[in-house]
Structure 1
Amino acid sequence: MHPDGEVGVAAPKGLRLTKIEEAISDKADWILQQQESFRQLQRGFPRQFISGESYFYMGRQYRLKVRRSQARDAVPAIRLYGGCFEVVVPSTVSADGRSNVVRQQLVYWYCNRAQEVLPEMVSRYCQCLALNQPELSVRQMSKRWGSCNGDNRITINWQILMAPRRLTEYVVAHELVHLVHHDHSRAFWRLFERLMPDFETRRQELAIHGAKYQL
């Protein structure tokens, strides 16, 4: 079960599709309950974007410090400094608008980091798969960690940068394998396992902890 509600099934080699479908049908009520649990869990961590909150980057938590600037030429800014996310908000911004500014700065920072971190991962796994490097898009996705289309392009949810590096690698590798196999066929999983032998462990970790790696 993935945090977006997607259900994955692992079955013994050679098991008939009808048997798999029967097993899924038998678990239908449980699956629906788990999907609702994930939705409630994700709603259970409302962000206020105020000093004292913690935000993840590469699996590590950093405290948020929001500082108002009285300078006339002050503009919103963010940096990771001294183990904290420090966000500068001009004093002209109202109290109601302050949280929006802080959130925008965090999104800006994560997106920039994603553009720095992800290309290296993509390049490394493309070499392993003997693939031409695809076009990489980074954006926020509400229901997926990543996606792949037929135009040699992959999209990665920047929020995965909050998770430990091994989980970001899992998402990147998953989408790149889809450039070879566009479905979740046996061939897909065999290739994925050759590329990342512990992919199942990483997938389970992301399913369990993924809800907290969202803004």
Structure 2
Amino acid sequence: MKRPEFIDGNGFIAEVIRTSRRKSADIRVEEGAVSVVVPADVSLERIGELLAAKRRWIKEKIALHQEMTPPSSKRYVSGESFSYLGRNYRLKVEKGLFAPVKLVQGRLLVSVPQGAEQPHMIRNALIRWYKRQAET
């Protein structure tokens, strides 16, 4: 499987999905997670422009999802425990460029940029990670 690509949308992280079966771009906001499906040859610069043009719409969709989501007891901070395949793993949050969740030495490791929307980004990164694990 190809390594996932991500792009910082200035307040949200979008997963880039490239495919040879598309002729145009498609931006999706599902469960508060943003993904952009594009033809295989579209540059990251062009994808950034598309996200910038739709930024307001994307932020509205994310906000709508956050309003509809019941409050969670999770705060998505380092040290919290998350279950995976019958075991509990501690979350370790690092500051820096966004990186997808990795299971390293018994910890769920995620790197996110500084910002007020970190819990949302961490939650979405974990959802994506769980979905990828389920696919494999």
Q: TM-score, normalised by structure 1?
A: 0.26
For the pair shown, the structure with the greater C-alpha radius of gyration is 1
Between the two structures, name the one with larger relative contact order (CA 8 Å, sep ≥ 6). 1
Question: Greater share of helix residues, 1 or 2?
Answer: 1
Q: Which structure: greater strand fraction? A: 2
Q: TM-score, normalised by structure 2?
A: 0.38
